[in-house]
Amino acid sequence: MAIDFTFTTAQRELQLQSRKFARDVLAGAIACETLATPEERFLATKPIYETMVSAGYLRKCIPAPAGGEGGGLVDMAILAEEFYSVNASVTLTMLGTVLGLLPILLGGTPEQCGRLLAPFLRISGAPLAGFCFSEPGGSANAASPSPGEGVRTIATLTGDNWTINGRKKWVSSATGWDRKGADMLCVVCRTDPDAPTDKGTSIIAVEGPAPGVTFERAIDSIGHRAHLTPVFGLQNVVAPRHNLLGKEGDGLTLAMGAFTGTAALVGIFGVALMRAAFDFALRFAKTEKRGGIHPIIEHQAVGYALADAKTSMESARYLSWRACHALDTQSPGAEELAIQAKIYGSETAVRVITELMRVVGIESYDHETPFGRLLRDALALPIFDGGNMGVRRRQLHALLMQPAYDPLTACGGVG
């Protein structure tokens, strides 16, 4: 067996190209976060997003078998770290669109993939997709049987069309650039109200902008200030029968498959934010004397704090890479590793950024430094994409309780 974290030539090129694009293009969009309203901030990023699309980065996130240029989750993690460390908002708009397409990529037929993915394979425009899972009132118990509600959005089949009614929340870019709806919405909904929730829920692709997508408000989120997460309704939204993804009733299984893939990337998001905070803190410690005679990095307390932060960051990066590789190769233990990467990377980011603020001291409380932005963005990581308490630890708990669970599977040591 060989364990090798060496990049291929193509991966190293992807890293350097992404780093340069982030520095030259994405950094300039940080100013969008200072505008007055969530929609103003989001709309101001549209030219930057268009540049990302025209540079081919959305195509690089869509797998090659589906017509894109993506080489797998490891490659996406390399790209995501470079982008997210510079501008989390615009990066999340692109990767939220990729999440919106995942039910098609995982559950779509060849015909559906060819037809529905076409707008996202072009290197022009600003196409958006949203994965419409979360609902007002929460979705941690999406499969809850009666008397629990579970998924509350309903789709009724009449002839050759589904008619969808319900409300959704926290779906990246779902109402599009103009409140009329994203170019593609993959909607988790009840297609058989008489069946148990886990057997009567499906995912239907809605090609947009679709009449009946009704904007309610843009959430004024703590972090990701220039990224749009709306509350919106689906009022008699119509989609053709043939836009059902996968088998009817298998929607929650398909949804969990999509969220397993994104879990490892959330770990990388945490790495990216830690990296940006560490870079600033290290430069600060090497140049600032704070009224003394030596740069503060020469003080043991500062040096040890930086060493601990760097160790935590590298641990999160390699766990996330391991999870991405396991998912790419469909290795045993991939689900466990992905969830662990999400939990560890997200919670470590909040802790490490806070600790690095102590290294810098009161200056870190000034918006002239990046710490406020980085910490606000980090606060989302433990609670979105399946909250660590309400969803992710429960998933790990369920794995541990399985009679056939082998604790050595994740490290490749299964007997």
Domain residue spans in the chain? 9-121, 129-249, 253-411
Instruction: Transcribe 267-332 into DSSP letters.
Output: HHHHHHHHHHHHHHHHHHHHH--TTSSS-GGGSHHHHHHHHHHHHHHHHHHHHHHHHHHHHHTT-T
Question: Per-residue pLDDT for 318 more than 50?
Answer: yes
399 residue type, one letter = L
Question: Per-residue pLDDT for 227 more than 50?
Answer: yes
* pLDDT tens digits, one per residue of 177-198: 999 999 999 999 999 988 988 8
Average pLDDT of span 55-59: 98
Average pLDDT of span 386-399: 95
Average pLDDT of span 358-372: 97
Helix axes 88-107, 73-84, angle to 10 degrees: 160
| pLDDT > 90: percent of the chain | 92
CB 312 within 8 A of CB 354: no
Task: State residue 415's pLDDT score.
Answer: 57
Task: State residue 1's pLDDT score.
Answer: 45
Task: State residue 201's pLDDT score.
Answer: 96
Average pLDDT of span 374-384: 98
**CATH numeric code, 9-121:** 1.10.540.10
Decide if 194 is catalytic.
no
Average pLDDT for the chain: 96
Question: Per-residue pLDDT for 414 more than 70?
Answer: no
Question: Per-residue pLDDT for 214 more than 60?
Answer: yes
b/e code 358-396 from CB counts within 10 Å (16+ = b): ebbeeebeeeebbbbbbbbbbbbbbebbbbbeebbebbe
Task: State residue 147's pLDDT score.
Answer: 84
| pLDDT > 70: percent of the chain | 99
Q: Domain 129-249 in CATH: superfamily?
A: Butyryl-CoA Dehydrogenase, subunit A, domain 2 (2.40.110.10)
* pLDDT tens digits, one per residue of 135-160: 999 888 998 888 888 899 999 999 99
b/e code 132-143 from CB counts within 10 Å (16+ = b): bbbbeeebebbb
Query: Out of 4, 328, 385, 406, which one is annotated catalytic?
Result: 385
Question: Per-residue pLDDT for 307 more than 70?
Answer: yes
Q: Enumerate the β-bridge partners of residue 207.
A: 184
Average pLDDT of span 22-28: 97
Q: pLDDT-derived band of residue 2, with 50, 70 and 90 as boundaries?
A: low
The CATH architecture assigned to 253-411 reads Up-down Bundle (1.20)
Give the DSSP H or E segment for 345.
helix 334-360
**E runs forming strands in 159-229:** 161-169, 184-190, 201-207, 213-218
For residues 183 and 95, what is the distance between their CA atoms, to the nearest angstrom? 15
* pLDDT tens digits, one per residue of 101-136: 999 999 999 999 999 999 999 999 999 999 999 999
Task: State residue 280's pLDDT score.
Answer: 98
Coil, helix or strand at residue 214: strand
